[in-house]
Chain A
Amino acid sequence: MAVTLDAALAAAQEYQSRHPKCRLLSCENVDSIPFNGEYLSTSAINEQYPAARIHANTGRLVMAHAIDTGYSDTIRYGYTDADRTFFTFVDFVLDSGHSLLEVSLCDTADGYIAIIWAETDGTNRYIKYRKITATGVNVVPAVTGTIHTQSGGTSFLTGPFSILLADDSYLVVYGHQDGDSHYHLYIRTSSNLTSWSAESEIALTGLTDANRKANPYIIETLAGPIWLLFDYVQSIGPSGEELTNIYYVTSTDALATVSAPAALTAYTDYTARAEHPAMAQPSANQIYFIFNKMMASLHMDQDTDGWLASYCGIGDMHIDVATQKLYVTSVYMGAGSRALQGVAQIDLATWTIDKFWDNETAPGFPDYYFIGGTMWWDVSHNEGKWVAVCSEQGLFSVLNSETDTIQNYSFYDMSAYGVAKNITWEPWHGQTYGIERTWIDQATNRIYILLLHTYFWGSHMQVGWIDLTYGGPNYTFNTILTDDSIHEFLMAGIRGGYGGWWQIVPEEDLIVVSFKGGLLNTEGMVRLYTLSTGGIWKSYTTTLNPSFPKWGLTRGIYQNGIIAGSFAYTALYAQEDFRGLCLIDIATDIVTYDRPTWATVDDYGMYNFALTDTGEYIIGCNTYGVTLYDGTTWTLYNSDTVPGLIPDGRTEQFVNALSYNPTTGMIVAGAGTYYGTNATGFIMFSRYGYLKQSNYRLGTYTTGWSWAAATPLVTGYTDYGAAPAIDPDDGGLYAFWTSMYVTELSTKWDKQQPAFDLSSYILRGTNVTRTSRIDPTSGNWDSSLDFTASHGHLFDPSNDSSLLRQYLSRGRKITVQFGEAVSGISYWEPPRHFVVTDDPVMVYKKGDYPTVHVSAETPRRRWDQIHIVSTDTFSGVLPEEIIRTLLLDHAGIPNSQVSLGTWDNTITLDYQGVDTNLGEVVDQIAFRFGYAIRDGESGIIEAIKITDSAAVSRTYTDSTKVINGTPKSTDADFVNRWTVECEERSFIEIILPEELAAELMASHRWNTGTKSYVIYYTQGSKIYRNPRLEVVQSVTSLAFQLAGNCSETLLDISRLEGTPETWDTYCVIRVSSPDLTPAFIAALAGLVAAYFYPDWAPQAPSGVLPTYRVGSYLCAFFIFMALNILGSTGNFAYRIHGQPVSKVRRTVSASADDAESQTRMGQIIADTPMNDPLCGSAPECQTVANFLKMVGMAERKRWGCEKVADLRVEEGDTISLPHPFTGNALTVYLTDMKYIYQMPKIGDENGQFTQEVEGWRL
């Protein structure tokens, strides 16, 4: 498809005299707001209170902030050159012992800069000024002095903020308390900066005098009125918590009179509030209103975007400090099955869910966790990129978040759930074990597993490890220790869901296992093992050490020789004084107890533990909140101490699965411990108090100002106090703000920069080269950009002082446009997008001007680096739609950026890519249909048809534009037969020789009678036809033989009663044996009757006659009969044989011949058959073979030429131009394009705007 250009630009392509242009823009890949920011300095400490503005006279960007250099604070003033390319800093040190409070900058009427600041010497507070040049030099004679003084080194003083008014006078605003401890804002004015008026209170009607007003900020809007913004304490809660919002007033007389205050933020409770306003106006109808959003905590639960489960109980949680990602494992904690909900990855800087893994994602966890396995919480300790989840039934999985892969490990065969046994191990007692705990050690990439045989009368424990980096397919469980010396009731104290805890301490060669006691009055125990040998080192119980808690430690943590743990309080066993935190010194075995100072109770509800990077304990305490203990001081965090800490309306406590982020000082806590359906979600809060983040609302003026919703201006929740300035050239927003890293404060800065124009930096006499190429033999498309820029020192990414350093850094987006000046007007082709491949190449060398060489690549090249474990399963979907979906799912390219059209010969496909990459998948699908996919103009993803029969889109009738031309066939080969093979889409069945399909052994009792047995062939996983019954042992017994016949019958009825999925997977064996119930009843009746039938003893005169025992015999007969019936049990054994059915796809193929070549070469040169999984029939193979033949033949007839650039053509076009010698029309399908743009140096005529094109001669 030819490029559509503006008519004037298109016409200019025909001219012999050209006025070429090149525009290079450096852009951000994503919206620049929220700002990530760059440190202004990596050396200064405690930088804060930034102020910034553009110096009107020079256009320099100037800023100032406070730095703490020790005893005396310093104002560090920074300024750029007029083009705002790099910073230079000058320090102004305050008087000895003075501390800086706030800084403000304003222009002076005579073109200088005034620094106006507040400071304290511990006795008084002052507002002072100093006049300097824009480059930070004190004016001579010095102009400096004091505007305001108030007594009290710690008395309240807020501000100052100052501006130069349109009438060249100065206005400064600040606030302090009056004699009634009321808070007011004041102004002072000056006509010359040196003499100031008396302070004048600003009348803020409707606001409560006693409530604080602070952080005043003034802006003279482009429409004229002055706006004064400030934060105001709207209300104070019962615990002293403050609700602050931003208010503003307007004035047309320099704040002498002001409008009624109105709110710019509307926070209504104590969970969030606004402070420290600022404002910047880029245009008459647009304004940035910036403020600190103060939050007690951030919260996530099942309603958060990206959480794919309907429940959000927190099982385990850890922070990968290096990547600042939080990993949360969610387990259902309500009644019923303890099922896994999923694992989430949360970006801590933005508090958003990056990824979520469950059984429906790719990769995903096995279904077993969601439907069959018993999952517990607080069982898996995870570190770094590794996240383990485990089921008590012997299956665990480990997520590698870096590679986005999940490896399943199973101690037992769980094929029914799709996981075969793959752990090689020796069960200690040869019995069944359950996984109770896991512990991942990131340093060694090992996962330690605690297995328990859970039968109470003979419990024992086995601990070992598996190497997480081993590739499998089988994994060795290396047993470390076995222990069966612990009472059965106590061993249960380490079971998941019951209590207890364990810890692996590799650096101290230690395993700590805490068995929680209490079950049937069993004492608790902590036992220490040697990690390397598995030997028992020592144990703690109340019997061994009466100062150890009777019921052991419920939870705990070990560090530096101390076990710290929680325990159940008891007033018995002489332990009534054991309260608070139990601390065991394992060197001395001395057990001590520390009680939190924030309450005096017996049970502090201590539950879960975490450590800070400096070894402080973080403990979740039921009922009370989260406490931090540094060995001396107990600090409690709850809704009373940090109002709003618990999200509004939530009643559960967040004391479970604690994690600490040493980078930001944040604590993350999950909901618990009263498990159930209400215990969901987790919160993040700062150990230092409120979270602070600069937010902004964009104001738009139509008939009045309307304000967009507040959104973050910066990333991070300890980034605040933003000072804005507007770039006068492009309207971009500069911001300088304070960023807190642990307790260190630094100033960061950033700029909103949709595009930075690099065009004026293109080095004359060097090439700007843009190439693009279709590889017709693979369907791949590639493009690159190379250029050299001046001012290399400014683009040097290691030059911290340069404001331009990020514009050519690795990963930066570059757009390039060639164009033409026509009658003095510039016209441009559509932009092409690139990404800088590496940081620019430059060398500092004495005598050489520093230039940078930049190489950039098409964003499409990154597709090859996007690994895909498995794509979605596509069934009956067009290839264009499959590619569109893949680009959206795996590259995040929105639909609006994809325009693939409708392909020739398109058909629906069944497709799923596994263990591949995005580039490979896209090329494979597109090539199957003869297309290549490119990053087209304006970043639109397009499809190019690879063809030798496209219509000519551009005809050149003469050679006035052609510089040279040459025929080529250098990359061609002699192949003249192309074969494509595939498997047919439909299956055919193959019936194999008969084999044993199943066995049945059972028995029939005297009253079983006829019974049918459903026999599944090998658990139903195989299909058999023509089943045959082999009777190994028939059902029979004496009584059965006497009563009648026994029979066995095989019924092959699965196709009659089953669904297609179960056809031929089972048969029915009907076993008939006589039902002897009637005979048994008859025997019983006879027996009863026999009792009434006496023995016959005839009487004779002689008196001696034998007794005929008729009755006894009858009785004995019926007893014999009944017993035989009851003892009639017939065992039987059958084998079912059948013919297994295998479903296979036939392999079919098709070939295409270059008959002319075969004749000319005198031989058939066959290419290696191409196996195309996207074909499903011989005709489809033929289509692809024909395409390969076309490509192979065309590759032998290439043509290349160099010509004057024509922006109308692009690769994939077919052009016609005269042959240089014959003048006959030459039709060329373009596969390769290379633009060369070179603007010559002055006095040098080496310049050009040409293009090298190459393609197939058709």
Chain B
Amino acid sequence: MPVMTLGGQSFATDPKIQGSPDVPVRISASVETLTSVAFFSWGTTRIGKTFPILWDFLNETDFQKLVTLLNADAAVTFYTGVESITVQMLNVESSYIEDVYKSVTVAGGRKDVKVPLLIIGV
């Protein structure tokens, strides 16, 4: 039973989530000094992190839902539905949809659909 929603839309199957959107990134840098190294840290954040969601196959109806979300030109809510992920609700933006090719199945659809999501709020 699919549980993930994107922009309030549910899909026939849940996508795979690459990366860990709930795991923050540490913003840091280092500079070598003459005899040591200086490390600079600005803490951790999830905002700004990009992670893709992938479907091996997405039917045309669901695919058009993604297109509609893209055309809406607005941030949407991504609900992971994965209980093991501590942060299940994210505000995300997406710039494009990547699909490999159109399926020849009767129902029609797309294979290997990938949507990179940028976290803009949690």
Contact = CB atoms under 8 A, between A and B. Distances in A.
Given A1242-B25, A1242-B49, A963 B33 contact: yes
Interface stretch (B37-45, B96-104, B106-114): B37-45
A1248 B29 contact: yes
A1242 B34 contact: no
Nearest to A21: B42
B34 A16 contact: no
Instruction: With a 10 A CB-CB cut-off, give which of B29, B39, B43, B48 has the most chain A CB atoms.
Output: B29
Interface in A1195-1254: 1203-1204, 1220, 1238-1243, 1245-1250
A18 B43 contact: no
A1247 B29 contact: yes
B35 A18 contact: no
Nearest to B32: A963
Contacts of A1246: 29
A16 B48 CA distance: 27
Contacts of B38: 16-18, 961, 963, 1204
B34 A962 contact: yes
Contact of B33 (A17, A959, A1249): A959
B84 interface: no
A821 interface: yes
A817 to B, nearest CB: 16
B72 interface: no
A1008 B31 CA distance: 105
B27 interface: yes
A1131 interface: no
A764 B28 CA distance: 12
Contacts of B34: 959-960, 962-965, 1220
B35 to A, nearest CB: 5
A319 to B, nearest CB: 51
B95 to A, nearest CB: 11
Interface in B1-35: 25, 27-35
Given A1242-B25, A1242-B49, A20 B42 contact: yes
B86 interface: no
Instruction: With a 10 A CB-CB cut-off, give which of B28, B38, B41 has the most chain A CB atoms.
Output: B38
Nearest to B39: A17
A989 to B, nearest CB: 67
Nearest to B29: A1247
A1239 B33 contact: no
A730 interface: no
Nearest to A821: B43
Contacts of A764: 27, 48
Given A1242-B27, A1245-B28, A1247-B28, A18 B40 contact: yes
B34 to A, nearest CB: 4
B42 A960 contact: no
Contacts of A1146: none
A1243 B29 CA distance: 10
A791 interface: no
B27 A1247 contact: yes
A959 B36 CA distance: 8
Interface residues of B, number: 21
B36 A16 contact: yes
A19 B43 contact: yes
A1245 B29 contact: yes
A962 B33 contact: yes
Instruction: With a 10 A CB-CB cut-off, give which of B27, B28, B40 has the most chain A CB atoms.
Output: B40
Given A16-B38, A1240-B27, A1249-B40, A961 B48 contact: no
Contact of A1247 (B33, B40, B49): B40
A1113 B25 CA distance: 143
Nearest to A961: B33
A1245 B41 CA distance: 10
A963 B37 CA distance: 9
B41 A18 contact: yes
B25 A1243 contact: yes
A1240 B45 CA distance: 12
Contacts of B41: 17-19
B29 A958 contact: no
Interface in A17-49: 17-21
Contact of A20 (B30, B36, B40, B48): B40
A16 B39 contact: yes
Nearest to A19: B41
Contacts of A1239: 27, 42
Nearest to B37: A16
A62 B9 CA distance: 31
A357 B91 CA distance: 63
A1119 to B, nearest CB: 124
A959 B33 CA distance: 7
Interface in A941-965: 958-965
Contacts of A958: 35
A1238 B40 CA distance: 10
A388 to B, nearest CB: 63
Contacts of A1241: 48
Contacts of B29: 1238, 1240, 1245-1248
Instruction: With a 10 A CB-CB cut-off, give which of A964, A1239, A1242, A1246 has the most chain B CB atoms.
Output: A1242
B121 to A, nearest CB: 11
B86 to A, nearest CB: 19
A17 B25 CA distance: 18
A1243 B25 CA distance: 8
Contacts of B42: 19-21, 1239-1240, 1247
Nearest to B41: A19
A817 B43 CA distance: 19
A1204 B33 contact: yes
B36 A1250 contact: no
A530 to B, nearest CB: 70
Contacts of A1220: 34
Contact of B36 (A960, A1238, A1247): A960
A1249 B27 CA distance: 13
Nearest to A1201: B34
A1239 B29 CA distance: 8
A960 B31 contact: no
Contacts of B31: 963, 1204, 1248, 1250
Nearest to B24: A1242
Nearest to B118: A1242
Interface string A960-990: 1111110000000000000000000000000
A321 B36 CA distance: 66
Contacts of A1243: 25
Nearest to A18: B40
B40 A1248 contact: yes
A1195 to B, nearest CB: 26
Contacts of B32: 963
Contacts of B28: 1240, 1245, 1247
Nearest to A963: B33
B48 to A, nearest CB: 4
Contacts of A21: 42
Contacts of B27: 764, 1239-1240, 1242, 1247
Nearest to B31: A1248
Contacts of A1240: 27-29, 42
A578 B35 CA distance: 103
Given A17-B41, A18-B39, A1248-B40, A960 B33 contact: yes
A754 B48 CA distance: 30
Given A959-B36, A1247-B28, 12 more contacts: A16-B36, A16-B38, A959-B35, A960-B36, A961-B33, A961-B36, A1203-B33, A1239-B42, A1242-B27, A1242-B49, A1245-B29, A1247-B40
Query: Considering the complex of A and B, which 8 residue pairs feature the smallest CB-CB distances, nearest first?
Result: A1247-B29, A960-B36, A959-B34, A1242-B48, A1204-B38, A17-B39, A959-B35, A1245-B29
Interface of B: 25, 27-43, 45, 48-49
7 contacts: A18-B41, A19-B42, A960-B35, A1242-B49, A1245-B28, A1247-B28, A1249-B40
Interface of A: 16-21, 764, 821, 958-965, 1203-1204, 1220, 1238-1243, 1245-1250
